[in-house]
Structure formats: C-alpha cells, structure tokens
C-alpha cells in the first residue's frame, strides 16, 4: 500500500498569523463571549419562548388534552382518560398489575417492574396473580390472557386487551347481577380498534368502562 | 411475523424513506445558506442572534477553532444545567416544591444532556422542577443535537473543499440547525402530540379520588391518585427529533401522558429516525452525488431491518417460564400476546419491539417499553445496536459522522486488499485520517468494556443490580453500552442513581462524545486541506451495492469481534437458560 504525501496536517495550520500571547488571549475571550451570549439567547428562544408558545397554543386548541384528558362527572374531575387505576373488587374489570410505589397506579411516580424474564420473582408474581383471578372466578377455565397478569411499562396502563376483558366479563356480570350481554356491550363501547385499522393494538379502557358500569341500572 | 406487524413495520419504513429525501434536500440548503423556504420566518431571528452574540457568520474557522468553540459552548451548557438543578428549590416554576438535586445526580444529568445522551438517573416527575425541565433539559435537547449536526456538516465540508484551511463557522452551523431545522419541526411535533393527549400545562399535579380506594405498601388505605402534569409535549417533540431521549416522566414514552395513543407512538417513532435518515440525503446533496447518501442509508437499513425482525420475533414468542401457569401468550385479534411484562397494551409487541430497535439504532434512548423485562434475545438487539457504535442512523449528526468514519475504514480495508492508496469521495485517506478513525471506533468499546468490568468487579457496581445471574450482568453491560455510545436507554432495574454510577457513567458519556467529535473534526480539517484526486479506473466506487455490503460488513465485524464475548456472558447465557428450562 502506498501512503505518500503530507500525513501531518496537525502541524502548520496557524501559519498565517504569528500567535503572540495577546492575540491568542483576545481570540479566546471573543469565543467565550460568543459562547456565553449564544447560550443565553438560544436558551431564551428554546427554553422559554418555545415552551410558552406551545403551552399557549395547546391550551387554546386542545385544552382537554393539554391538561391530562380528565373525565368529568357532575362537573368534577373523576379520572384521567389515559391514567389507569387499580381495581380489586369482583364487580370491576381489573386493570393490569402496576409496579409503582408505594401504591399501584401512582401517577406521581411512574415505573415498570423491570423484572427480567428469568427472575424467579416474576414467575412467582405471575403465579400469584393467576391464582387470585382463579379464586374469584373458579368456573372460568380459559387460559389467562398474558397482559392481565404482567405489569405494564409505566405502571399506569389505562388499557387491557379485548381478550382480558372477555376473560373477566362473566365474573363482572355475576357480581353486578347483570346479564352477560349488557356487560359485553359496555365492553364494546369502550373498545378502541387499531388506528386506521393498522397502528397499535385493539384495547379496552378500564377506567372508562368501570365508570360506565357504575352508572348502569341493575 | 403477524400480518399486522409486517404492515406496521413496512409502513413505518416506507414513510421514513419518503420523508428523508425532501427533508435532506431542505437541510442541505440550510447549511449551504441557499434559500430554503423558511427564510421569511427564520432569517430575521437568525440575524438578531448573530448581532447580539457578536458573531460574524462568514468568519471561517480552522478545525481547531471549530472544536474549541464547540467544547466551550457545550461546557457552558453543562454548567447551566448543573446550576439550575442545584438551585431549583430557590427558583420559580417549581409547583411541587422539589428540593435541589444532589451534586452527583445533577452532574450526571448535566453531562447526560450536554452530550446528547440523556441517560436518566433522575426520576422526571419526582426530581426536576418545570423550570429545570424547560430551561435546562429542553434547551440542551436542542443545542446538543445542533452540536452534533454542526460537527457532521464540518466533516462534509472536509470532503467537499479543496486545498482549504477552514471547515466553516461553528456558530453559523449551530444557530441554523436550531432555528431552521429543529425548532420548526419541534413546533409541528409538539402540537401534534398535544392533540393526541400529551400534556402541556403549568398547573400543579392533579389530585383525584379513586373509583375504588386502594392500599399502599404498608397496608394504609389510599383514596387519592396524584397525576403528575407539566409542559411535556414541547420537550418530548425535541427529545425525539434531536435523538435525545430523556423523558419528561420517569417511565419515558411508556407513560400514557407522554405517549397516549398508537398514533402518538408512530409520530414519535418517525421523529426518532427522521433527521438521522434525512442527513444521509443531505450528505449526498452536499458532496454533489446523491448516490453516496443513498449508499450510506442503504447500509444502515441493511443492518437495522434484520435486527428489528429478530427483536420482534423474540418478544412475540413470549416467556416460556410463564407458560406453565396456564397463560395465553399467543397473538390473535383479541390480544398481541407475547412477552407483555413491561409493555403497554396500546403498543403491544410490534410498536414496542419497533421502538426498542429504533431508539437504540438511533442514539435516542427513549423507551415505550421496559427493556429490562425483554426476553434475552429481545434485549440483546437494543444492546448490540448501541454497541455497534451508534452508527446505524445514530444520533443526529453524530450517527452519520460515525458512519462516515466507518466508510473511511471500509475504503482503507478495500485499499489494503487491492494494494492502492484508499480514497473516499475524491480525497486520499492517509495515515493521519486512519489514526483519527481508529480512535473513533476504538474508544467507545474501550469505555464500555472497561466500565462494565470495573462495575462488576466492585461492590459499588454490583450492589445496584436488581435481577440476579446473567441478567444482572446484562443490566451493567447495557448501562455502559448506553453511556459509552451516548444512547441513554437503560435496563432500568439497575439503580444507577448512586455516586459510583453517576460518576462512572458521566465519565463514559464525556469520553464517548468528545473523543469522537474531536478526532472527527481533525479528519475534517485534514481532508479539507487536500486536493481532489481524479477518479480513475482503479478507484473504488462508493455508491455500489458492493460498497454497501462492505460498509455494513465492517460495522458488524468491529461490533461482533469486540462484544460477542461480553454478550455471551449476559443475554446469550440467559437465553440458553430460558429455553433449556
């Protein structure tokens, strides 16, 4: 292989001006000024004007979404459309397990379990959750949909899969003294399809569904 | 692969390629100071910045001055973020009265954001005030990204210029990247995200009564739910566009108020790879041969798609350890099935696995699912994508300059094979360029492997591990792979908010960022001084499928030789344990 020619461009680049100490200092001082001022000015643009402008536009165009998509009942906020809650009573559809602390579905401190797939604690937790579901619903011999016994990434997942809703529908109907069809219709009302028939996954909003069920006449 | 997964991934890649070309052409116009279409909106502000900051945008810089300006600017940015965190308790916009951040955590976070890594040792809603998030993190999201783009443009000028002593003006590249590219895209992105339900408000956290009261860990009843809010959308838009990735909330883009719908997820996924992919086209335009840009982009896709499919398949297969409990893990129209621990229902397996590959191919590091809970092979994919040097798309600017350094290595290897002086884009590649290129490809593995060894050899490192056995080793390896390649995602079970990890990872981030950027600028300076070498019959064409294969091969070879032993101790052992029972 031939490697000819000037291989040391690191030398001789300051050849044009003889760098006396003073000019070097002045050049550095100019750089410090430019860096400081640019940081300040771009901070104002991207750190103050930009977020404030977006907030203003968002509050004007999408006030409900920008403030947490709260669901109101009788003029009071009762839940957020996007933040799940924990349910343990048989008459409610259960949400997915949540790993937030100190209580599940703590939307002030989102977190997943971070348990690895071979961690015995994960297997134990899943086993316990399956047992809890089976105890309340001994007649149900269907396999448990995996999302219903595994913790979500945020600990705040507002959704369960349609499979997980179908698994629980009979239990909820029995506990509420409703016929299965009424409960299934309520599930259907709160089931979202894939966006454009393509993106994401079909899902049931548990909070909206349970709020709705509480309003149904017996 | 389910039909839907195939379609979702196919649509994503198609939209990405379709957008890369026009955006790439636009960015080339921005950096060449030609009319770009947004001059009416941005030009006045740009002139104002130059005037107030005493910048002469036409003043050309040799590479040393360019590097000094970059380092100085980034250092001041670091100081600003550090100072904001340490004094946030005294400053306004702190509705939850959060205390000042501890020195080691503040240092780590400041380094993390100044280096475009955005590693999250902090907890978002539980650690940082609104002011810190806006004026510290959001600002660095813009400026660290713009810094990466500036270094890339300087390198491209090195290829383009002949017999030149200078490589452009850092302030010009920085300001135009911010005002003409990042800011307009962020405004569109942020408003789209709000429309989907991402919060953007200065209200205090919401307190709601629970539908069914619950109990906390101590068995005490809890009837209220606290919902953290804040100006999130404006930060999330730039966090994705600038391949930053640091979350507004702790759960990052898995948090429903940071990423509420499949559409918001799709938009964020696009934003992650948009600029890195488009910059390939910018590169092609600026060197006057668009085929050169497409060739680099093709090499990126060639590596990205198979790894993405592998990750998806591993996650969709589910966890055999859980099958024994009578679980249904099979995909159907009723559920995504698969390994759902640490994933959100609305994203299922497809958008989660797509995100895991995308965020680590780019040096983004945001997550919409928890990588620590991935199956061993599903977790190997994001880990290896980082270890390949963050050049498969990579960070905005930094990814492509890393990939161009790999291209220099590739032509050098080809030159060795045929016994000719290697050339790339008409410039001879000689000893100086090769020395600098070697630094660029060797420093990140050094940082990752030494850091991991140090951590697993000491109690400081081991005491932070959550999961036992091989998976615990993976947590540490992942952390240093992430910091040592400026990615920022995590196997989050590792408790990284300890003095040891805050310091060690901050050091890894600093070395990985600047000891790649400085040699890259040195290459730019050296190339710019050279005359153009005429193309002859003996010149290796660098736009052909052969070169694409060679380039991809070099990336894989370096990544595999360096990291397979470490991967064997972590995810590969764990995979064998999992399938072996």
Query: Could you report the per-residue pLDDT of B21-34, keeping only the tens digit for each?
Result: 999 999 999 999 99
**CB distance B420–A1 less than 8 Å?**
yes
Please tell me the distance from the alpha carbon of residue A155 to that of residue B251, in angstroms, as a whole number: 8
Question: Residue A119: is its pLDDT beyond 70?
Answer: yes
pLDDT value of position B382: 96
**CB distance A80–B190 less than 8 Å?**
no
Question: Residue B49: is its pLDDT beyond 50?
Answer: yes
Please tell me the distance from the alpha carbon of residue B293 to that of residue B290, in angstroms, as a whole number: 5
Question: Residue A7: is its pLDDT beyond 60?
Answer: no
Question: Residue A3: is its pLDDT beyond 60?
Answer: no
Residues of chain A in contact with residue B321, where contact means CB-CB under 8 angstroms, are 117-118, 122-123
Interval B240-270: pLDDT, tens:
999 998 888 989 999 999 999 999 999 999 9
Q: Report the mean per-residue pLDDT for chain B.
A: 94
Please tell me the distance from the alpha carbon of residue B389 to that of residue B387, in angstroms, as a whole number: 5
Q: Which residues contact B251 (CB under 8 A, 6 or more apart)?
A: A110, A111, A112, A153, A154, A155, A156, B258
pLDDT value of position A23: 86
**CB distance B470–A118 less than 8 Å?**
yes
Interval B160-183: pLDDT, tens:
999 999 999 999 999 999 999 999
Determine the average pLDDT of the residues in A192-212.
96
Q: How far is A181 from chain B (nearest CA, A)?
A: 18
Residues of chain B in contact with residue A162, where contact means CB-CB under 8 angstroms, are 333-335
**A17 vs B474, residue with greater confidence:** B474
Strands B327-328 and A144-145: parallel
Residue B32: phi and psi, rounded to 5, are -90, 5
Token reading at A94: 């259960």
Centroid of chain to Cα B395: 5
Which residues on adjacent β-strands are paired with residue B224?
B209
Q: How confident is the model at residue A18 (pLDDT cuts 50, 70, 90)?
A: low
Please tell me the distance from the alpha carbon of residue B350 to that of residue B369, in angstroms, as a whole number: 11
Judged by average pLDDT, the poorest of A2-16, B4-18, B41-55, B466-480 is A2-16
Determine the average pLDDT of the residues in B544-557.
96
- State the DSSP string of B73-118: HHHHHHHHHHHHHHTGGGSS--TT-PPPPPHHHHHHHHHHHHTT--
Residues of chain A in contact with residue B328, where contact means CB-CB under 8 angstroms, are 142-146, 163
Question: Residue A45: is its pLDDT beyond 50?
Answer: yes
Question: Residue B306: is its pLDDT beyond 90?
Answer: yes
Question: Residue B544: is its pLDDT beyond 60?
Answer: yes
Determine the average pLDDT of the residues in B226-243.
94
User: What is chain B's percent helix, strand, coil content, to nearest 5?
Assistant: 65, 5, 30
Q: How confident is the model at residue A15 (pLDDT cuts 50, 70, 90)?
A: very low
Please tell me the distance from the alpha carbon of residue B330 to that of residue B528, in angstroms, as a whole number: 57
Q: Are B502 and B514 in contact (CB under 8 A)?
A: no
Determine the average pLDDT of the residues in A132-160.
95
Residues of chain B in contact with residue A164, where contact means CB-CB under 8 angstroms, are 335
pLDDT value of position A116: 95
Please tell me the distance from the alpha carbon of residue B181 to that of residue B179, in angstroms, as a whole number: 6
**CB distance B471–A116 less than 8 Å?**
yes
pLDDT value of position B581: 66
Say whether A145 sits in a helix, a strand or coil. Answer: strand
- The CB-side HSE value for A145 (13 A sphere, CA atoms) comes to 25
- State the DSSP string of B106-168: HHHHHHHHHTT-----S-GGGT--HHIIIIIIIHHHHHHHHHHHHHHHHHHHHHH-SS-S---
Q: Are B117 and B364 in contact (CB under 8 A)?
A: no
Please tell me the distance from the alpha carbon of residue B513 to that of residue B204, in angstroms, as a whole number: 36
Say whether B1 sits in a helix, a strand or coil. Answer: coil
How much is the ipTM here? Answer: 0.94
Mutate to test the interface with A, among B227, B359, B421, B521 (most CBs of A within 10 A): B227
Q: How far is B395 from chain A (nearest CA, A)?
A: 20
Question: Residue B566: is its pLDDT beyond 50?
Answer: yes
pLDDT value of position B246: 85
Q: How far is A51 from chain B (nearest CA, A)?
A: 6
Contacts across the A-B interface (CB distance below 8 Å): 435
Q: Are B141 and B182 in contact (CB under 8 A)?
A: no
Determine the average pLDDT of the residues in A48-68.
97
Residues of chain A in contact with residue B467, where contact means CB-CB under 8 angstroms, are 114-116, 118-119
Q: How far is A170 from chain B (nearest CA, A)?
A: 17
**A159 vs B133, residue with greater confidence:** A159
Q: Which residue in A4, A39, A24, A92 sits closest to B178, CA to CA?
A: A39
**CB distance B186–A9 less than 8 Å?**
no
Determine the average pLDDT of the residues in A84-90.
95
How is residue A45 annotated by DSSP?
I
Judged by average pLDDT, the poorest of A20-24, A129-133, B437-441 is A20-24
Q: Are A35 and B114 in contact (CB under 8 A)?
A: no
Q: How far is B281 from chain A (nearest CA, A)?
A: 26
pLDDT value of position A4: 38
């Amino acid at each position: 292989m031939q490697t000819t020619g000037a291989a040391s461009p690191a030398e001789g680049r300051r050849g044009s001006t003889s760098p006396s100490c003073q000019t070097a200092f002045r050049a550095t001082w100019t750089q410090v000024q430019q860096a400081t001022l640019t940081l300040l000015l771009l901070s104002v643009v991207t750190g103050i004007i930009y977020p404030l402008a977006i907030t203003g536009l968002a509050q004007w165009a999408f006030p409900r979404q920008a403030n947490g998509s709260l669901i109101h009942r009788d003029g009071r906020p009762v839940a957020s459309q996007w933040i799940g809650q924990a349910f343990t009573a048989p008459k409610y559809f259960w949400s997915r397990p949540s790993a937030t602390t100190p209580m599940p579905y703590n939307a002030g401190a989102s977190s997943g379990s971070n348990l690895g797939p071979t961690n015995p604690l994960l297997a134990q937790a899943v086993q316990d959750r399956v047992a809890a579901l089976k105890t309340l619903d001994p007649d149900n011999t269907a396999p448990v949909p995996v999302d219903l016994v595994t913790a979500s990434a945020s600990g705040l997942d507002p959704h369960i899969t349609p499979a997980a809703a179908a698994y629980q529908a009979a239990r909820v109907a029995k506990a509420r003294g409703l016929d299965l069809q009424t409960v299934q219709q309520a599930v259907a009302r709160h089931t979202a399809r894939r966006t454009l028939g393509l993106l994401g996954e079909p899902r049931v909003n548990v909070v909206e569904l349970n709020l709705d069920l509480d309003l149904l006449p017996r | 692969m389910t039909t839907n997964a195939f379609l979702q991934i196919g649509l994503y890649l198609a939209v990405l390629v379709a957008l890369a070309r026009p955006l790439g052409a636009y960015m080339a116009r921005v950096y060449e100071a030609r009319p770009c279409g947004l001059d009416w909106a941005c030009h006045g502000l740009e002139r104002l910045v130059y005037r107030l900051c005493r910048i002469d945008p036409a003043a050309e810089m040799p590479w040393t001055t360019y590097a000094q300006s970059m380092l100085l600017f980034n250092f001041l940015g670091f100081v600003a973020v550090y100072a904001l965190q340490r004094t946030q308790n005294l400053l306004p916009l702190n509705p939850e009265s959060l205390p000042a951040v501890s020195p080691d955590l503040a240092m780590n976070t400041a380094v993390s954001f100044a280096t475009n890594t955005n590693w999250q040792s902090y907890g978002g809603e539980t650690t940082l005030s609104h002011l810190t998030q806006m004026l510290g993190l959001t600002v660095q999201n813009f400026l660290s990204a713009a810094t990466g783009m500036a270094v890339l443009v300087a390198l491209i000028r090195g290829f383009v210029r002949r017999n030149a002593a200078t490589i452009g003006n850092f302030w010009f590249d920085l300001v135009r990247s911010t005002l003409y590219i990042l800011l307009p895209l962020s405004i569109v992105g942020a408003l789209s995200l709000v429309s989907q339900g991402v919060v953007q408000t200065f209200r205090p956290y919401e307190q709601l009564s629970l539908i069914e009261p619950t109990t906390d860990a101590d068995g005490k009843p809890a009837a209220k739910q606290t919902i953290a809010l804040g100006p999130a959308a404006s930060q999330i838009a730039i966090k994705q566009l600038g391949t930053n990735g640091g979350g507004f909330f702790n759960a990052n883009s898995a948090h429903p108020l940071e990423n509420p719908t499949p559409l918001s997820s799709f938009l964020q996924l696009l934003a992650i790879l948009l600029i890195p992919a488009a910059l390939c086209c910018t590169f092609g335009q600026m060197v006057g041969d668009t085929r050169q840009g497409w060739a680099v982009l093709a090499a990126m896709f060639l590596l990205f798609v198979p790894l993405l499919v592998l990750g998806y398949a591993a996650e969709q297969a589910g966890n055999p350890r859980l099958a024994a409990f009578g679980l249904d893990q099979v995909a159907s129209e009723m559920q995504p099935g698969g390994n759902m621990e640490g994933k959100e229902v609305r994203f299922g397996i497809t958008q989660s696995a797509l995100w895991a590959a995308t965020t680590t191919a780019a040096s983004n590091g945001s997550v919409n699912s928890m990588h620590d809970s991935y199956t061993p092979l599903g977790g190997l994919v994001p880990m290896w994508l980082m270890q390949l040097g963050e050049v498969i798309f990579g960070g905005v600017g930094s990814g492509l300059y890393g990939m161009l350094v790999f291209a220099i290595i590739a032509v050098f290897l080809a030159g060795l094979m045929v016994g000719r002086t290697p050339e790339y884009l008409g410039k001879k590649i000689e000893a100086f360029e090769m020395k600098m290129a070697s630094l660029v490809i060797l420093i990140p593995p050094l940082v990752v492997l030494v850091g991991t060894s140090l951590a697993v050899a000491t109690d400081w490192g081991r005491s932070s591990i959550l999961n036992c056995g091989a998976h615990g080793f993976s947590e540490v390896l992942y952390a240093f792979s992430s910091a040592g390649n400026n990615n920022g995602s995590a196997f989050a079970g590792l408790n990284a908010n300890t003095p040891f990890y805050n310091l060690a990872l901050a050091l890894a981030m600093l070395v990985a960022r600047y000891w790649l950027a400085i040699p890259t600028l040195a290459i730019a300076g050296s190339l710019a001084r050279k005359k153009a070498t005429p193309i002859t019959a003996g010149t290796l064409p660098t736009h052909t499928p052969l070169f694409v294969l060679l380039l991809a091969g070099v990336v894989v070879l370096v990544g595999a030789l360096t990291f397979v032993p470490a991967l064997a101790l972590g995810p590969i052992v764990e995979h064998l344990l999992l399938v072996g029972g």
